[in-house]
Amino acid sequence: MANMRSLISFIVLSLGLLAAAESPISPYNLHEKRTHIPAEWSLQRRHEPTSVLPLRFALTQSNMDNLEELLMDVSHPKSSNYGNHWTPGQVLKTFAPSEETISAVRNWILENGFEEERVKVASNKGWIEVDATTEEAERLLQTEYNLYTHSTGKNHVACNAYHLPYHIQPHVDFVTPTVHFDAKITRRSDEPARSIGQPIFGSSPKTTGAVDDAVLISPTDVSTCDEYITPACLRALYSFNYTPVATSKNSYGIVEYTPEAYLQTDINLFAMNFSEGLYGKAPYMVSIDGGYAQTEYQNFSYNGESDLDLQYGMDLVTPAQQVTLYQVGDMVEGASFNNFLDALDGSYCTFEGGDDYTQDSKYPDTAPGGYDGPEACGTATPTYVISTSYAYDEADLTPFYSARQCAEYAKLGLMGVTILYSSGDYGVAGNGGLCLNPNGTQTLDGTMFNPTFPGTCPYITSVGATQVNPGSTVYEPEGACEQVIYSGGGFSNYFAMPSYQKEAVDYYLANYYPDYPATMWNSTGISRAYPDIAANGANYVVAIDGAFELVYGTSCSSPVSGAIFTMINDARLAAGKSSIGFINPTIYSTDFSGLFNDITMGDNPGCGTNGYNATPGWDPVTGLGTLNFDKLVAQWLTLP
């Protein structure tokens, strides 16, 4: 036995010498470093040399530099590959770490004396795992491990900095456990969850309260759409009267975050007055991370968003078309967009090191009453169109976190999925009317415009809000929404301008340059501009908690636009064509100009200003304008 071991060591040593001969100069470089210990953690002592650490090397992904090009190849209407969307397997294979990366890191670990059977490549190929004693890990990473204790008593092993050989660095994103303090700390009961479905989160729609006379409106009357929006008003505004024919091949996805939930009794009440055929119809619910349509808590904050999204989404695609409700997160910690994306694409769970538990929820949830099932990872199938009416401010999240999530939207686009997000309800300000300060904080008296995320991700379609102007009819042009809410819009501080919108945005900047100092907005002319399109967002008649209320927000605009795109998909699927997938390169293309109702009235105030103006052509209030279904479906049917 002893002989066998030394023989193996000898072989490993020889291989190590050979490899070293191939790359004689490979000094160690600093790979990651932490400047301070996070609050509430304190240093105890050096970690025991013989304690075992589960070392994990996150490998760098392939082809990320080509992501935009690959997406344009299947999404640009002039591309010969238009509509040739990818399978999830193709996506996984294209972006997984290369064999070269896997073997470089694996060989380097072997060269350092680890036996072959200890070095494992994870089944998704995103990680290399090796259980190492602290002593071994310290030698491998040229570091020192310490034990830290949190004020709650939890222990965590970490180092201040670690190093990798020069030739290994390009193959490794990072190593854990090292400098990261992402150990999950159970939330104290007085600390509210930051999950996006919570009532305290500032992106829900607004209401002016109950309207008793709504029940008197005829479901076909469009003479009072400036005061009450009903499905009939939207059909008239957007030339949208379509009966789907390919329903079995299609579905429309609407995402809700628990505790936000719909009530079937509200859908039924809405059906009785405005949507014959919807009575008793329920969405097809896909539960993610323990999500369910809770009925324990009921008021506008808990039911407003879901009731709105489903009543209008389900009516507009007609009761013949199934609507998929993705209900995400349990009642205790809720969930984030990343938790939803993990469910849609299993490869995202570990992509670039996986979720960030300072923002994202971790399952199983060990808190009392939490969902104790496994974290959803590739458990849900994406529908062709997915609408989400929740949003962060860009400044809430780090550039790395946002870029990682934004890349995932591009991958869904490669798979033929259209992703819609509401653009926000505070004009040029962020959620709750907060504006940016030069030091990056957000306050009500901040002076810099505050863009929303994912609205600024170039791989989603951002939807702003319009209104039927007071005293006008559905046959006259709408204006930007100026009742109760203002359409979110502006210029990103994180994302560069995608090529598909350059001409449209350049035209706006050349002809209607916003008269604000460069200290207030991103005036570089090279950043992603939003929204892309708009739809009505004022005076929606919605059944909520047993009564009709008037509801406002880009939260209305996104599900309505999604319903229209779902029916364009129906027409294409019926003709044996692909889904429309990532639509932005198409809708900004010259063949599609003039197919939108251009909005040229109104603005989007915020941060003590009037915001931007709606102008002819694209603008940072209403994008390209509202949809004209008849014109758009005809043009989309000319594409392969």
Residue 67: which of 452, 296, 352 has the closest Cα? Answer: 352
State yes or no: is 123 an active-site residue: no
Stretch that binds ligand NAG, among 60-68, 91-99, 170-178, 520-528 (CB under 6 A): 520-528
| DSSP result, 35-94 | SSPPTTEEEEEEPPTTSEEEEEEEEPPSSGGGHHHHHHHHH-TTSTTTT-PPPHHHHHHH
Q: Which of 9, 524, 608, 634 binds ligand NAG (CB under 6 A)?
A: 524
Scanning residues 190 to 209, which ones bind ligand NAG (CB under 6 A)? 199
For the bound state, the minimum distance from the C-beta of residue 210 to ligand NAG, rounded and expressed in Å, comes to: 12
Q: Is 215 in the site for ligand NAG (CB under 6 A)?
A: yes
Segment contacting ligand NAG by CB under 6 A, of 223-231, 336-344, 493-501, 563-571:
493-501
Nearer to ligand NAG, 324 or 493 (CB): 493
Residues facing 233 on adjacent strands: none
Q: Per residue, what are the HEC states of 218-255? A: CCCCCCCCCCCECHHHHHHHCCCCCCCCCHHHCCEEEE
Q: Which of 44, 81, 218, 511 binds ligand NAG (CB under 6 A)?
A: 218
Q: Give the integer Cα–Cα distance in Å for 289 and 374.
A: 8
Catalytic residue among 256, 309, 375, 425: 309
Residue from 496, 575, 634, 637 in contact with ligand NAG (CB under 6 A)? 496
- Part of the chain binding ligand NAG (CB under 6 A), chosen from 277-285, 294-302, 509-517, 538-546: 294-302
Indicate the residue among 241 and 299 with the shorter CB distance to ligand NAG: 299
Nearest 5°: CA angle at 538, between 199 and 200? 10
Residue number, 199 or 378, with CB nearest to ligand NAG: 199
For ligand NAG, the closer CB: 260 or 482 = 260
Is 299 among the residues that bind ligand NAG (CB under 6 A)? yes
**What is the CB-side half-sphere exposure of residue 124 using CA atoms within 13 A?**
24
Total residues at interface with ligand NAG (CB under 6 A):
20
Answer yes or no: 555 catalytic.
Answer: yes
Burial 465-477 (b: 16+ CB within 10 A, else e): bbbbbeeeebeee
Alpha-carbon span 165 to 475, nearest angstrom: 68
CB 301 to ligand NAG: min, Å: 4
464 closest CA partner among 527, 576, 388, 554: 554
Give the shortest CB-76-to-ligand NAG separation in angstroms: 22
Contact 255, 326 (CB under 8 A): yes
Among 321, 493, 539, 584, binds ligand NAG (CB under 6 A): 493
Q: How distant is the alpha carbon of residue 589 from its chain centre? A: 24
DSSP 378: S
Catalytic-residue membership of 499: no
Q: Which amino acid is at 473?
A: T
Active-site choice (195, 555, 557, 579): 555
Closest approach of ligand NAG to the CB of residue 439, in Å: 4
Do the Cβ atoms of 251 and 383 come closer than 8 Å?
yes
> Which of the following is catalytic: 266, 305, 330, 393?
305
List residues near ligand NAG by CB under 6 A.
199, 215, 218, 272-273, 299-301, 437, 439, 441, 492-496, 522, 524, 526-527
Active site amino acids: 305, 309, 555
Binding residue positions for Ca(2+): 598-599, 617, 619
